[in-house]
Amino acid sequence: MIVGLPKEIKNNESRVALTPGGVFELTKNNHTVYVQKGAGFDSGFSDDDYVKAGATLLPSIEEVYAIADMIVKVKEPIEKEYSLAKEGQVIFTYFHFASNQTLTDAMVASKAICIAYETVVDDNGTLPLLTPMSEVAGRMAVQQGAKYLEKPIKGKGVLLGGVPGVRPGKVLVLGGGVVGVQAAKMAAGLGAIVNILDINMDRLRYINDVMPNNVITEFSSEYNIRRHIKDADLIVGGVLIPGAKAPKLITRDMLKEMQPGTVIVDVAVDQGGCIETTKPTTHEDPIYIIDDVVHYCVANMPGAVPYTSTIALTNVTLPYVLQLANKGWVNACESNPNLNSGLNIVKGEIVCEDILK
Ligand SMILES: NC(=O)c1ccc[n+]([C@@H]2O[C@H](COP(=O)([O-])OP(=O)(O)OC[C@H]3O[C@@H](n4cnc5c(N)ncnc54)[C@H](O)[C@@H]3O)[C@@H](O)[C@H]2O)c1
């Protein structure tokens, strides 16, 4: 199969969908890989790295789309790419069709085969191609939170780890899923006191078993949240109700109960956020302040660390890319129900009901 790797052109997207290691695996399996010049540059991979792995370079995105049977990407195609997708061409990427009717219409019109990372489900019912980005965002939440807690960057002026003779900072983590656990782990590693709240008792039992003693599990209730926000230094929002908007666990009036300079990192911003005052921000302008509380609500946090995010993403996508290339999309999807759940649009027909909700 001919596989094409275009450079991402969405604003501020620095990841790339295949590492040179991924290209090597494809060429080892007798596939031909065309890489757009500069595609991996922002993730730390040179054109020469791809050539050494067996790829052929092409100067433009148009040429990559024109020659490839399968395009492997990171973000959904943007308007400039709509007309490049071809009938019968496989496009394997994050699409998020449900929130983008224009993209859905364009991909239906293209008659391409659209397989979405975000709807690939594993045997446990979890979303394996979303997990690594939640891991990145969860860990980053504490890194960003610690930074904005510094006084010159508008925070309270608290060092999360404290120092001998001074109490450490207090971190409240809402949601004990992938984001929450990774955030708790980072904060605990810095020496902070961490309270992690969830409504899933099995999850709290697991966290209680595996985390160090400075991570305390509690049931998520309004009473407990109100109690903790009074002296929390950093609050990380990581709740998710699949397929629904995040519940507003901290309402506008509750900000007044927080100390000035408290930092909120609402990772759940992409589902509307679990704080009533959350609104999406960008890496160029990541924070805003309401009632003296610093809000960090960047909707694509992993985009800031493309060296790590690219490798984390391609670790999980490559096995599926290889199946699609080796078997062709029809056989690959028939023989693997997990991959089959990624099929969203096939030659002009929407085959994933969730898109229509
Ligand atoms: N901003 C970004 O760049 C970025 C990156 C990755 C993920 N995310 C988002 O982060 C959010 C969390 O993702 P995840 O992978 O950790 O999800 P997850 O499903 O692994 O975890 C969500 C957790 O929230 C818990 N929860 C549900 N209702 C709750 C409540 N009322 N109180 C406390 N906990 C509650 C669930 O029991 C679950 O444990 C999602 O919205 C995801 O899209 C954002």
Mean pLDDT split into 10-residue runs, the chain, 357 residues: 96 92 98 98 97 98 98 95 97 90 96 96 93 97 98 96 98 98 98 98 98 98 98 97 86 98 96 94 95 96 94 97 98 97 96 77
Measure the CA–CA gap between 105 and 110, rounded to whole angstroms: 9
Taking the centre of ligand 1 as the mean of its atom positions, its distance from the CA of residue 355, in whole angstroms, is 21
Taking the centre of ligand 1 as the mean of its atom positions, its distance from the CA of residue 292, in whole angstroms, is 25
Tell me the three state secondary structure of residue 213: coil
Of 284, 248, 244, whose CA–CA distance to 264 is shortest? 248
**DSSP at 17:** S
Taking the centre of ligand 1 as the mean of its atom positions, its distance from the CA of residue 35, in whole angstroms, is 34
Ligand 1 atom closest to residue 247's alpha carbon, by position in its atom list = 31
pLDDT at residue number 98: 81
Half-sphere exposure for 335 (CA within 13 Å, toward CB): 10
pTM as predicted? 0.92
Q: Which residue has the tokens 């980005």?
A: 133
Half-sphere exposure for 53 (CA within 13 Å, toward CB): 23
pLDDT digits (tens, 9 = 90+) for 201-253: 999 999 999 999 999 999 999 999 999 999 999 999 999 987 678 899 999 99
pLDDT at residue number 157: 98
Residue 271 CB–ligand 1 contact under 6 Å: yes
Residue 199 CB–ligand 1 contact under 6 Å: yes
Distances (CA, A) of 217 to 91, 189, 197: 42, 16, 6
Residue 283 CB–ligand 1 contact under 6 Å: no
List, in sequence order, every residue forming a beta bridge with 195; answer none if it has no partner. Answer: 172, 216
**DSSP at 216:** E
Q: Which tokens belong to 282?
A: 């960008």
CB of 73 closer than 8 Å to CB of 92: yes
Contacts of 190 (CB under 8 A, 6+ apart): 142, 146, 160, 161, 168
Active site residues: 96, 270
Taking the mean position of all CA atoms in its chain, how far away is CA 324?
A: 23
Of 179, 139, 160, whose CA–CA distance to 263 is shortest? 160
pLDDT at residue number 185: 98
Q: How many CB atoms lie within 10 A of CB 348?
A: 12
Measure the CA–CA gap between 39 and 21, rounded to whole angstroms: 14
Ligand 1 atom closest to residue 134's alpha carbon, by position in its atom list = 6
Q: Which residue has the tokens 């690594």?
A: 132
Residues forming CATH 3.40.50.720 domain(s) in the chain: 2-120+305-356, 131-304
pLDDT at residue number 88: 97
pLDDT at residue number 11: 80
Measure the CA–CA gap between 210 and 84, rounded to whole angstroms: 48
Measure the CA–CA gap between 33 and 12, rounded to whole angstroms: 25
Ligand 1 atom closest to residue 181's alpha carbon, by position in its atom list = 16
Residue 272 CB–ligand 1 contact under 6 Å: no
What value does the CA radius of gyration of the chain take, rounded to a whole number of Å?
A: 22
Residue 174 CB–ligand 1 contact under 6 Å: yes
Q: How many CB atoms lie within 10 A of CB 345?
A: 24
Taking the centre of ligand 1 as the mean of its atom positions, its distance from the CA of residue 179, in whole angstroms, is 6
**2-120+305-356: which CATH architecture?**
3-Layer(aba) Sandwich (3.40)
Of 146, 357, 138, whose CA–CA distance to 268 is shortest? 138
CA-CA-CA-CA dihedral for 226, 221, 186, 188, to nearest 10: 80
Could you give the maximum distance between any two Cα atoms of the chain, in Å?
A: 67
- The length of the chain is 357
Residue 182 CB–ligand 1 contact under 6 Å: no
Taking the centre of ligand 1 as the mean of its atom positions, its distance from the CA of residue 277, in whole angstroms, is 17
Contacts of 112 (CB under 8 A, 6+ apart): 85, 86, 87, 88, 89, 90, 91, 345, 347
Residue 269 CB–ligand 1 contact under 6 Å: yes
Q: Class of 131-304 per CATH? A: alpha beta
* Sign (positive or negative) of CA dihedral 325, 112, 129, 330: negative
Q: What is the DSSP string of 55-109?
A: -EEES-HHHHHHH-SEEE-SSPP-HHHHTT--TT-EEEE---GGG-HHHHHHHHH
